[in-house]
Amino acid sequence: MGQKVKNIIKDLVPPVLLRAFRGREGNRWCGHYTSWEKAVKASSGYDREFILEKVKEAMLKVKSGEAVYERDSVLFDDIQYSWPLLAALMWIAAQACGKLNITDFGGSLGSSYFQNRKFLDCLPGIRWNIVEQEHFVRAGKGHFENEGLRFYASIDDCLKETSPNTVLCSGVAQYLEKPYDLFEKIRAIGFEFILFDRTGLIDGENDRLTVQKVPSKIYAATYPCWFFSRPVFMSFWKDDYELVSEFDALAGVMNLDGNERAYDKGFIYRRRSHS
């Protein structure tokens, strides 16, 4: 499993512009693919460098104060908080004398960090470590890295420099070819807290692999997207982690083709004590 885990970040190619419009009118999730390869063949893909430039341009406006809030390259007039996620961050910090050390897997150029900066700035200590694709890491280090915000190309690289007690996965796991490789890595490391946000679930007994289709007026792209079986997902964590709380995420209820319903969810987990 070591090599597969090492390559997880190389496979971290979620179309960030697609994530910005999850749950908005016009999105469709189609198909029930039996392999990632088949889903990829049914997808158009996207321009990685184009995505990066869009995100960087938007984030630089947020950093300079020209814009209020960015999510996946899209600028907003008001910050759209995930209040349950923010509450979880502050709850975790409160148990560590106000300090927060978090690994944000697939955290772009710091969207969640800048989104919550008004509240995070009141903490006596914060270290927000983003694990991303290498070209995002280069851009992050060149334009956004500071004392509290760092960028890494892998979880292992992050752990060499610091010891985060929390990992955040927001709108990212469902776009990985093998998301359970990531989950196994997280569980093996033994983070004290695990935070999920914007994670698609279905009620069925098996995960469903779809192709997400975004309207061309927004961004002409299609890409493979998993919806996790709720029973399987919940069972994976139950032996090692206690579910503290779950909450409805950005998109709410989504309708897949075939009249199957999916749910955009968030979860707050804490590691169980086996002593």
Give residue 190's Cα distance to chain centre. 19
pLDDT at 78: 72
User: Which architecture does CATH list for 2-271?
Assistant: 3-Layer(aba) Sandwich (3.40)
pLDDT at 207: 98
Beta bridge partners of 245: 268
Cα distances from 249 to residues 6, 9, 115, 208, 269, in angstroms, run 29, 24, 15, 19, 16
Number of neighbours of residue 160 by Cβ within 10 angstroms: 9
pLDDT at 80: 78
Q: What is the mean pLDDT of each run of 10 residues along the chain (275 residues)?
A: 51 47 62 95 73 77 72 66 94 96 94 90 96 92 94 97 97 94 97 97 96 70 92 98 94 85 96 82
pLDDT at 47: 56
Q: Which residues contact 188 (CB under 8 A, 6 or more apart)?
A: none
